[in-house]
Chain A
Amino acid sequence: MNEPAEDDDIDCRAASRLLSAAQDAPLPPDDERRLVLHLGICSMCRHVQGQLGVLRDAVRQIGKS
């Protein structure tokens, strides 16, 4: 099994950038791995991930009633 390399460690600032980027295009595999590792240990960034999904659903409903 491969130990995670040191540069796989990202902070919340970097994770939040990747969460936003992932809404627009598939992430490169390295970034995807770093993000998944970070989300595994950070509930705050998991909250933000869910919130970006809510935001997207909400905006798509604007004008529909």
Chain B
Amino acid sequence: MDIAAELSNLHQPLLRFAQLQLRHDSLAEDVVSETLLAILETPERFEGRSSLKTYATGILKFKIIDVLRRRGREIHVEPLAEQSVDDALDALFAADGHWREAPPAWQHPERALEQAQFFDTLQLCIDNLPPKLARIFMMREWLELEIDGICGELQITSNNCSVMLYRARMQLRECLQLRWFKDQA
């Protein structure tokens, strides 16, 4: 398969990542097109040291970060209402501050990271998050942006930012527990 055909297969998965981050269809299309074009124009830079998907995803991340820097203010994220922040924290814990459901140890996480099926489950769990939580979480963990940068770009307080990341992590932890690790014991 030539590189153009391989790249056209990557269009959909890349667009999914971009839409999750940018929440803006035409901006997302633009960054994906720019990514694919950049690779087509200088295919010699792709030296086959990684898969084409890995290479394209790396370029896409840089382009998404660039759009967030330039246009972050246009991509509005509603901060959480303070009440819903407290509610979310309460749901996981009993009144005495203990876990309602004791988190068990995860068996063989290193094996999970080698399985495509695990990543499908992870994607499903991310898709199940409220969109704004998914977006902030992926900015932090997938784009690897620093928390100060994220709150600044999105103009939300750092406390609100931390709480959103906390909620996202706790929900993902629970989702992976139920949909993957529960059956691995």
Contacts and interface: CB of A to CB of B under 8 A. Distances in A.
Contact of A63 (B13, B102, B112): B13
Q: Describe A's contact surface by its main secondary structure.
A: helix
Contacts of A51: 103, 106, 109, 173, 176-177
Given A50-B106, A56-B141, A25 B147 contact: yes
A50 B119 contact: no
Contacts, number: 104
A7 B136 CA distance: 32
Q: Describe B's contact surface by its main secondary structure.
A: helix
Contacts of A47: 103-106
Size bracket of the B interface? 35 or more
Nearest to A18: B166
A64 B49 CA distance: 12
Interface of A: 11-14, 16-17, 20-21, 23-25, 44-45, 47-48, 50-52, 54-65
Given A12-B99, A52-B173, A58-B119, 8 more contacts: A12-B98, A14-B97, A21-B166, A23-B165, A24-B165, A58-B113, A61-B119, A62-B17
